[in-house]
Each structure stands twice: as C-alpha cells, then as structure tokens.
Chain A
Amino acid sequence: MSAWIADALVLLGVVVMTVGVYGVFRMPDVYTELHAASKAVFLGVVVLLVASAATGDGAIVARAVLIGVFLVLTTPVAAHVIALAAYREGERMKTPGALDESGRDLPRGRAARPSADPADGDGDGRGRPRLRP
C-alpha cells in the first residue's frame, strides 16, 4: 500500500518540478523567475523526499528528513539574496503592470506612500497600472 502512495507522490513531484522549470523558462525577469525556482521546484523536491521516506528504512528516512529540513531553511535565504542583488543592480520589473513600490517607479516624495496617488480612488495602491515599454 505504501508503495502505491510513494508512486503517486513521485508522479506529483515530477509534475510540480516540470511546471517549475517551465515557469523559469517563461517568466520575463529575475523576480518572477524566483517564484518558479524557489517555490515550485523546491516543493517538488520536498514531495520526492516524502515519497522516499514513505518506502525506505530508517537510514533513508533520517537522511530524507535532514535534507528536507535543510532545504526548508536555506531556499528562502538564497532566493532573498538573489532578489536583493537584482534590486541593488537596478534590474527592472518586466511584468506588464508591475509597480516598484519601493520608489523607483514612483514620483519623488511618494516612495513610502504609494496609495497617495490621486488617480487611485480606493487607496489600495492599484489604481493605475503604470505600463513600462
């Protein structure tokens, strides 16, 4: 019975990782590629580790738990460092309608208050998508 559960988990993990790699292939800039690489691919690896822990003996389960905990701890840190380096380097967000609310796309003096835009009626900061060429 647990072998069938492991097979289903392996198929789920392979599908999720394929979706993640396709996302990195399709996304336009580093910030959106990080979503696919650090969530989809990472969750696929975790599902595969659960599948190996479902069938294996004690040594495999211990190592799988160790790898899973380590990946849970380190993947967000690596994604944050990559995003911070991309932002410091001045890479633009290429997604249509993306708005840099830390101030690079806003007029001067509005950096901390993006919802102070007069065109933004409801004050949620999403009143006017600023499309960049």
Chain B
Amino acid sequence: MHEAVFYVAALWMTGLLVVSVGLVIRARSSLSRILALDMLILILIALLVLLSDANRVSYYLDAALVLALLSFVATIGAARYHGEGKLFS
C-alpha cells in the first residue's frame, strides 16, 4: 500500500514534467526558458527520488545527485553567458 503512494506520486510528477516541458516551449524570454529548464530538472530529481523510494534501491539517488550538479553548472553558465556575454570575468 505504501509503494502505491509512491507510484501515484511518481505518475503525478510525470504530469508536472509534461507541464514544465510546455512551459519551456512557451516561455516569453530566454531567461524564462532557462528558469523553466532549471525547474524541469528539479522535477526530474523529485521523480528519481520517488522511484528510489518505491523500489527501495539507492542507485536512482546517484543519478539525481549528478543531475543536480549538472543543472547547477548549466544554469550558471547559460544565465551568465546570456547576461554578461562571457562566462568568466
């Protein structure tokens, strides 16, 4: 019964993922698009955490950690390149 809660939550999170893909496509500016991509990766991390809980394995959380690292570096790089024209000042 407890696994069912995790699976239903993962299904709902997949719906949120689809909605945020729509937000990335329909964003009004480039920075809004970068922000929506950042949020999409946060939702993906949440989905991996829920799957890790439902299956009782810890390997999904390694992938979630790598996704968090990559999304941080990608957001910083894209936003700095967009705002200042260069990555390192």
| A residues apposed to B, CB below 8 Å | 3, 6-7, 10-11, 13-14, 17-18, 20-21, 24-25, 30, 33-34, 37, 41-42, 44-45, 48-49, 51-52, 55-57, 59-60, 63-64, 66-67, 70-71, 74, 77-78, 81-82, 84-86, 88-89, 91
Q: Determine the distance from Cα of A82 to Cα of B39 in the docked complex, in whole angstroms.
A: 12
Q: Determine the distance from Cα of A49 to Cα of B50 in the docked complex, in whole angstroms.
A: 9
| B residues apposed to A, CB below 8 Å | 2, 5-6, 9, 12-13, 16, 19-20, 23, 29, 31-32, 34-36, 38-39, 42-43, 45-46, 49-50, 52-53, 56, 58, 61-62, 64-65, 68-69, 71-72, 75-76, 79-80, 82-84
A77 with B46, Cβ < 8 A, contacts A60-B58, A84-B83 known: no
Residue of A10, A42, A55 ringed by the most chain B CB atoms within 10 A: A10
